[in-house]
Amino acid sequence: MARYYYDDEFPKYVSVGERRRKAERHAARLQSASPIIIDGTQIAKTFWGKSWCLNLERYSDYANRLPRGRTYVRSGSVVDLQIQARKVSALVSGSDLYKVEISVSPIPKRKWTDVCLDCAGAIDSLVELLEGRFSKTTMERLCQQKTGLFPTPAEMKFSCSCPDSARMCKHVAAVLYGVGARLDVQPELLFKLRDVEQQDLVTNASRRMTKPSTAKLLDSENLSELFGIEIAEPKRKRSKTG
């Protein structure tokens, strides 16, 4: 249940410019701070960052709070963000400096095994994995809603020191988008957050193992345009003659 304010205690409005200046001052005072700095209006530009943000926006649970979060992260309000195994810790500058913590469940062992089996032999190297350079089929499998690499709402718990008692306040939403921005430059942190080994997805198998799945895949028709990366088309087999 959201908190209600009386007229004399309603939080003072803070403009975007003032919020940015406050955030810069807070960041300057922090030792070893790791702020989220957005260059332009696009929060994420690479495969893993865009995939994380797209996953957030698929869930109706987050629809009302995400727009304010986008505004906050773009204004530089996330003055520190740390990603660890199963946990994100952050400081967000608003009317005050607020502490945000997000607990993330590890991928269940069976689910991770299924992902690895489905992608066996399709990812040739760790560099290819982290740069998001693989086939449409593999890309779709890794990004499947609920059964891919990204956490569902049920797998995340939020806390913020601000007065808003909603499950997801704007500061939490800003941090969630901040994770996407951080994955743009450090995609390996996704595997750390979900407490799995990224090397598990890299195999020496010469054949790609597949398993039937009833999970709904992403529409691959516009994946290249959506993620802004070049997606390799499957190689066609040459017919034997003679």
- CA-atom Rg of the chain in angstroms: 20
Q: Are 160 and 78 in contact (CB under 8 A)?
A: no
- Average pLDDT for 54-77: 91
Confidence (pLDDT) at 12: 55
Confidence (pLDDT) at 153: 92
- pLDDT at position 74 over 50: yes
Confidence (pLDDT) at 25: 67
Question: Phi and psi of 126, rounded to 5°?
Answer: -65, -35
Higher pLDDT among residues 155 and 62, named by residue: 155
173: how many CB neighbours lie within 10 A of its CB? 26
Higher pLDDT among residues 39 and 104, named by residue: 104
Q: Are 191 and 150 in contact (CB under 8 A)?
A: no
Distance of CA 138 to the CA centre of its chain: 18
Closest CA to 75 of 98, 57, 92: 92
Give the DSSP H/E element, type plus range, for residue 78: strand 78-84
* 161-203 pLDDT tens trace: 999 888 899 999 999 999 999 999 999 999 999 999 999 988 7
> What does 169-196 look like in DSSP terms, one character per residue?
-HHHHHHHHHHHHHHHH-THHHHHHTT-
CB burial string 65-77: b at 16+ within 10 A, e below: bbeebbbbbbbbb
Confidence (pLDDT) at 182: 97
Confidence (pLDDT) at 160: 96
Confidence (pLDDT) at 8: 40
Q: CA 204, 151, 111 angle in degrees (round to 5)?
A: 45
Average pLDDT, the chain: 80
Higher pLDDT among residues 227 and 56, named by residue: 56
Confidence (pLDDT) at 233: 56
Please identify which residue in the block is written with the tokens 């009302």. 64
Q: Sorting pLDDT into bands at 50, 70 and 90, what band is 47?
A: very high
Confidence (pLDDT) at 1: 35
Please identify which residue in the block is written with the tokens 């929060």. 43
Higher pLDDT among residues 151 and 26, named by residue: 151
- pLDDT at position 43 over 60: yes
Please identify which residue in the block is written with the tokens 């350079």. 133
Closest CA to 162 of 172, 175, 152: 172
Residue 135 bridge partners (DSSP): 232
Please state, for a pLDDT cut of 90, what percent of the chain lies above it: 54
Q: Would strands 156-160 and 78-84 be described as parallel, antiparallel, or unpaired?
A: unpaired
Higher pLDDT among residues 212 and 161, named by residue: 161
Q: Note the helical H segments in the chain.
A: 16-29, 47-57, 66-74, 109-118, 126-131, 136-142, 170-185, 188-193, 223-227
Confidence (pLDDT) at 150: 96
Higher pLDDT among residues 239 and 197, named by residue: 197
DSSP-derived 3-state class of residue 98: strand
